[in-house]
Structure 1
């Protein structure tokens, strides 16, 4: 493998950071809703 191939261009870096950011945000929102449902004890409505 050429050393130049290992270096990602700014577009690839931006896309990977954007994808990881969106995935992390969705996971955080999901966990927040799940924790709130756990605290209220009303889990049946969330999983139905």
Structure 2
């Protein structure tokens, strides 16, 4: 398994996500954004006030 910059082990889950992202970026697979959840406007306004 590859090591990180400070010789720590990288989890297989993080490596899998990176490979998936690279495949989307190169066009090997189609990005499916249908499952992305949209926040309600009231929650967006609340988050903006808390900053």
TM-score range, shorter chain: 0.3 to 0.5
Higher relative contact order (CA 8 A, sep 6+): 1
Q: TM-score, normalised by structure 1?
A: 0.40
Larger Cα-atom Rg: 1
